[in-house]
Amino acid sequence: MSINNRFVKFDKRPAGAPTPDVFSVQSQKLRAIKDGEFLMRNIYLSMDPALVGRMRDEDNYAEKVNPGEVMHAYGVCQVVESNNPKVKVGEVRMGRVDMQQYTISSDDDAFKKINQGLAKATHFLGAVGLTGVTAYFAMREIAQPKAGETVLISAGASSVGSIAAQIAQLNNCRTVAIVSTDEKAAQVKQDWGYDAAISYRGKSIEQLSQDIKKACPKGIDVYFDNTSGDISEAVMDHYNVGARVAVVGRLAISHLTDTRLDTGRRDSNIMLTKRVKRQGFVILDYQKKIKGAIIQLALWIKQGKLKSKEDILIGIENAPDAFFRMLDGKNNGKQLVKLADIDDSINPDSSFAGRMILSKWFPSNFLIKKLS
Ligand SMILES: NC(=O)c1ccc[n+]([C@@H]2O[C@H](COP(=O)([O-])OP(=O)(O)OC[C@H]3O[C@@H](n4cnc5c(N)ncnc54)[C@H](OP(=O)(O)O)[C@@H]3O)[C@@H](O)[C@H]2O)c1
């Protein structure tokens, strides 16, 4: 079979924040698959902020992408050809497929089967995917919000932030978002039920700090830090005694060529006097518990306790645009790129187990506890 594979090539490392000239869209004939390999048609690509970190020539928890390679990206895919006995044609899987229409692999473990009885395919890149489980474990293991506490979330409109907020609300907390603009602040209160929301763009650290004080009159018990940088410096003076800080992302500094050179006010005095606990979070540490989190998130969605939104562009040629939309904060929901439809005529129906787990009579809480 002669297939033309269109892909987004990573041409060069950005000097600062990524610019459109770091990418070019190209195409190449696919080679035949070898013994043990399988070919996947990519269905959805996920545009994640962590891709910026992969562009830097710096050690990170994720593998870096090198100039000349296909740009990295996670996605949902469908197997269309297989010379691997563990992988069947038609299966819908997810993994690091990269920004391209087709992916060849021999590693069945790197592309996990998804169960569409638990949630729809796009949710596996959002609310029940890496973003959902990141919010779930960072909240459960580090932030540990308690009823009546104030939970402040930077990048509050992001997929991770919006799910973290809803989890805090399920724990009866007061939730406050920091987002780029006043329009977005009004929107996140409506979309995600935040009690208050403030904007950061164009404000000095002192101005933002004043706004945080007004939005959090009883101080901050939990700071869910998606940004780092100036935003986190503005948060610093408002911790209550015993506050917890989950350091989840570095959106505000990830464009620096060397993030170690980020400077700011020292916080030892605040950490000491307020007995603040701050811990970095990387989802890779929770791999063994992920199944339980996925079931819990899927159950909350089914019960109407958790909402999610998606913003989908169509076609591989629009993947660079989708990437920059996400970085500019223009996305309205999890930013995805759709490349193809799932071919249901070859899709083996594996949804039964998922539907059963979510059914009313199934002891799903027991299973969630056991698995997570
Ligand atoms: N540690 C882990 O294991 C892990 C796993 C997954 C995700 N994460 C992190 O979680 C965070 C959210 O990820 P996501 O996938 O949910 O994001 P997302 O839905 O794609 O949202 C990205 C949002 O980030 C904001 N943003 C972009 N550039 C910014 C900047 N320079 N300063 C401040 N805000 C900026 C924008 O909102 P505004 O318009 O409001 O600025 C944008 O809408 C990221 O930091 C990501 O790296 C961490």
pLDDT tens figures, 169-196:
999 999 999 999 999 999 999 999 999 9
**Cα(326) to centroid(ligand 1), Å:** 8
Question: What order do you get walking across the sheet with 220-225 strand by strand?
Answer: 196-199, 174-179, 150-154, 220-225, 239-247, 277-280
**Cα(121) to centroid(ligand 1), Å:** 21
What's the confidence (pLDDT) of residue 261? 82
φ, ψ of residue 128 to 5 degrees: the values are -110, 15
Q: How are beta strands 23-29 and 277-280 bridged, if at all?
A: unpaired
The per-residue pLDDT for range 7-53, each reduced to its tens digit, is: 999 999 998 889 999 999 999 999 999 999 999 999 999 999 999 98
Side chain identity, residue 90: G
Other beta carbons less than 10 A from residue 370's beta carbon: 10
The answer for 25, left when phi > 0, alpha when psi is -120 to 50, beta otherwise, is beta
Output 138-143 pairs: Cβ under 8 A, ≥24 positions apart.
Answer: 138/164, 138/224, 138/246, 138/248, 138/281, 139/164, 139/167, 139/168, 139/224, 139/246, 140/167, 141/281, 141/286, 142/244, 142/245, 142/246, 142/277, 142/279, 142/281, 143/168, 143/222, 143/224, 143/244, 143/246
CB 97 within 8 A of CB 121: no
H-assigned helices in 221-350 = 229-235, 268-273, 290-302, 319-327
pLDDT over 80 (residue 92): yes
pLDDT over 90 (residue 136): yes
Ligand 1 and 296: CB distance under 6 A: no
And the tokens for 224? 């869910």
Mean pLDDT computed over 338-342 = 97
Placement of tokens 């990519």 in the chain: 42
- pLDDT > 90: percent of the chain: 84
Ligand 1 and 51: CB distance under 6 A: no
What's the confidence (pLDDT) of residue 267? 94
φ, ψ of residue 329 to 5 degrees: the values are 75, 20
Side chain identity, residue 176: V
Which residue has its alpha carbon closest to ligand 1 atom 24? Answer: 155
What's the confidence (pLDDT) of residue 139? 98
Looking from the CA of 263 toward its CB, the CA atoms found within 13 Å total 0
Ligand 1 pocket: which of 63, 226, 233 to mutate (most atoms <8 Å of CB)? Answer: 226
| Residue that wins the pLDDT comparison between 44 and 253 | 44
**pTM exceeds 0.75, yes or no:** yes
pLDDT over 80 (residue 58): no
Ligand 1 and 326: CB distance under 6 A: yes
- Give the pLDDT band of residue 1 (cuts 50, 70, 90): low
Ligand 1 and 282: CB distance under 6 A: yes
Which residue has its alpha carbon closest to ligand 1 atom 6? Answer: 131
What's the confidence (pLDDT) of residue 256? 82
- Share the mean pLDDT of the chain: 95
**Cα(310) to centroid(ligand 1), Å:** 15
pLDDT over 90 (residue 351): no
Cα–Cα distance for residue pair 91/84, rounded to 1 Å: 13
Task: Please report, in angstroms and rounded to a whole number, the separation of the first and last CA atoms in the chain.
Answer: 43
Cα–Cα distance for residue pair 155/251, rounded to 1 Å: 8
- pLDDT > 70: percent of the chain: 100
The per-residue pLDDT for range 264-298, each reduced to its tens digit, is: 999 999 999 999 999 999 999 999 999 999 999 99
Q: Which atom of ligand 1 is nearest to the CA of 335?
A: 20
